[in-house]
Amino acid sequence: MEKNNQNIAPVDGKNELRRDVTIWGSYMWGFADVGADTYVALGLVMAYAQGATSLVFALAGIVYIMIGLAYTELASAYPVAGGGPYFTLRGLGDFWGFMGGSALLLDYTIDIALFATASAGYLNFFMPYILGISIDSFVISVGPLHNVNYFWCIETLVLISLLILINVRGIKESSFLNEVIGAIVIITESALVIMGFLFAWRPELLAHQWKTQFPSFHNFMYGSSLAIISFVGLESISQAAQETRRPATIIPRTSLTLIFTVFIFAVAFSTLGLGVLPWQEFAEHMDNPIAILAKAIPIIGFMAGPFAAALGALILFISANTGVMGASRLTYSLSGFGIISKWFNMIHSKFRTPMRTIVIFSFIGIIETVLSFLTPSAMGTLGNMYAFGATLGYTLVFVALIKLRFSDPYTPRPYKMPLNLKIGYKGRKVDFPVLGVIGMLGVSTILFMVVLTHTIGRIAGPAWILLCFIYYAWYRKKEGLPVFKSIKHDWEKEQIEVLTSAEEYDLLEQYKNALTERDKKRRK
């Protein structure tokens, strides 16, 4: 055991996660994850939302904006690795922090599997040009298993293995990958939308599909619950907060910019798609819908289709990359607060990255990939699971945001969600987040739709939570810790250390002054 640990050092020693993420890197961590979602979700959502796809994306986008505002407030106030589960832990206690962590961990491991699968799917667009055969040529049936695409599965596993190597090397190298590819993606996505509306979009086709191809209520709900995966990924910015330079200053800028960038792209692509091709075309090409859209644009389609496929493969690859990063940073954080074993709370002495968690949870993503390819639709199976984890985690974050406004009014908030009401609480005025309540109701409704309409999400999602709870209960009992109650945390000391590490000295002074004023009032 000593030999295995010789390159590992505990986080409470000299080695800590280093702050290598710049303002552009912070933005691209989020865009790499959220910006890629439309490449996956467009075909899945079209298959159910049909002529109402634009409406479904817009409604899910409104909920996403409120989620984004909540994360902007919390991540700038508490710039530490852990994201939503850390906010839930701090606001609601250990058990609910575990619940939020297990939901998000499901999403991160699915993120690795889903986006690596989708990246390989866009690469397969070129297979007829290179090998003269389509990816369907590799489909086999083995006993009760039908339509198993073993080649596509192998491609995905190779991509995940490459991501493990990148992330073990360090956040700087991993962030650089996001920044370079992300910049290319933003430019080309913008060009594709502009060219599509100029040369291919037919408003009469959009209107016709709206009138004659409107989905049933069940399909509308199903499509709406899938559409939320187009906006999953804001967590990435908060996960990288502990490795971001001057996070309280940077995070509000990057988060707000990201929110509206992704919302515009998602609604634009869905609206463009319904005005260029029948929704059935996208449903038949779930593996590369954006490439099919680009190929349909006159004049440039012969070139835009392959280019969009290459673009999709790149952006989905870096989105899977943020899944690896997110899972490792999440478990790194939870282990430090007694939610999971401190065995996870170790970083490599040379690369200063949580190598154990990178390897372990990426391997879980590999297992999920293999299992999904044994089902009729690998991407459909992974998409169902993705929606469940995201909506459960987001619901808890909204509850934590509301609770923290009351339980921790002393922490400076460089950004606050708009639309607040001043109410009295324990002798002081507290800003009650009205928009936070609306957002909580919105994402809770989507969670209800996921459970109601997704068979896989309804069964496999809770099963994952149950398995995580069994581990959590075992670990807490083994350590002599309460299962449903919280251990004592010195959050004030934690916050001072966080702000000091982040070099946010103005906020640190504000926080200390607020605590001093509170203590004076208590002594009176």
Q: Is 466 buried (19+), middle (13-18) or exposed (0-12) by CB count in 10 A?
A: exposed
Q: Which of 286, 220, 288 is nearest to 58 (CA)?
A: 220
User: What pLDDT does 351 receive?
Assistant: 65
Q: At what angle are helices 94-123 and 150-169 packed, to 10 degrees? A: 120
- Tens digits of per-residue pLDDT, 372-425? 888 878 888 888 888 888 899 999 999 999 999 999 999 999 899 999 999 988
User: Does residue 37 contact residue 110 with C-beta atoms inside 8 Å?
Assistant: no
User: What pLDDT does 130 receive?
Assistant: 82
Going from the N-terminus, what domains does the chain have, and what CATH number goes with each?
A: 8-489 (1.20.1740.10)
Q: Does residue 440 carry a pLDDT above 60?
A: yes
> Taking all residues of the chain, what is their mean pLDDT, rounded to a whole number?
84
Three-state SS annotation for 335-389: HCCCCCCHHHCEEECCCCCCHHHHHHHHHHHHHHHHHHCCCCCHHHHHHHHHHHH
Q: Bridge-partner residues for 21, per DSSP?
A: 244
- Tens digits of per-residue pLDDT, 94-117? 999 999 999 988 988 998 999 999
User: What pLDDT does 5 receive?
Assistant: 36
Q: Which of 193, 175, 195 is nearest to 185 (CA)?
A: 193
**Owner of token pair 């609910």:** 96
Take residue 430 and report the two structure tokens written for it: 């507290």
User: What pLDDT does 321 receive?
Assistant: 80
Q: What is the mean pLDDT of residues 152-176?
A: 79
Q: What is the mean pLDDT of residues 296-302?
A: 88
H helix intervals, 6-93: 23-49, 53-77, 84-92
**Owner of token pair 């995070």:** 251
- Tens digits of per-residue pLDDT, 304-355? 889 889 888 888 887 888 788 777 777 877 887 888 888 876 776 676 677 7
**Owner of token pair 């710049």:** 22
Take residue 524 and report the two structure tokens written for it: 């009176």
Q: What is the mean pLDDT of residues 434-458?
A: 88
| Residue 396 to residue 366: CA distance in whole angstroms | 27
User: What pLDDT does 176 receive?
Assistant: 63
State phi, psi for 244 to the nearest 5 degrees. Answer: -105, 135
Which residues neighbour 296 within 8 Å (Cβ) at sequence distance 6 or greater? 200, 276, 277, 281
- Tens digits of per-residue pLDDT, 51-93? 999 999 999 889 989 998 998 899 888 887 677 888 999 999 9
User: What pLDDT does 377 receive?
Assistant: 80
Quick one: what percent of the chain has pLDDT higher than 90?
Answer: 37
CB burial of 501-510 (b: ≥16 within 10 Å; e: otherwise) equals: ebebeebbee
State phi, psi for 241 to the nearest 5 degrees. Answer: -60, -35
C-alpha to C-alpha distances, 523 to 107, 264, 513, 516, 520, nearest whole angstrom: 46, 52, 16, 11, 5
This prediction has a pTM of 0.84
| Residue 277 to residue 274: CA distance in whole angstroms | 6
More confident residue, 490 or 321: 490
User: Does residue 70 contact residue 417 with C-beta atoms inside 8 Å?
Assistant: yes
More confident residue, 463 or 32: 463
C-alpha to C-alpha distances, 56 to 33, 50, 491, nearest whole angstrom: 20, 10, 40
- Tens digits of per-residue pLDDT, 179-232? 677 777 788 888 889 999 999 999 999 999 999 999 999 899 888 888 887 777
- Tens digits of per-residue pLDDT, 352-383? 677 788 888 889 999 999 988 888 788 888 88
91-105, 124-138, 477-491, 504-518: the lowest-pLDDT one: 124-138
Take residue 448 and report the two structure tokens written for it: 């209800």
Which residues neighbour 17 within 8 Å (Cβ) at sequence distance 6 or greater? 11, 81, 171, 242, 243, 329, 332, 347, 352, 353
User: What pLDDT does 358 receive?
Assistant: 85
Three-state DSSP class for 7? Answer: coil
Residue type, 489: H
139-148, 316-325, 502-511: the lowest-pLDDT one: 139-148
Residue type, 502: A
- Signed CA dihedral, 242, 244, 250, 252: sign only: negative
Take residue 444 and report the two structure tokens written for it: 């809770």
Structure letter (DSSP) for residue 415 = S
Q: Which of 334, 324, 390, 326 is nearest to 97 (CA)?
A: 334
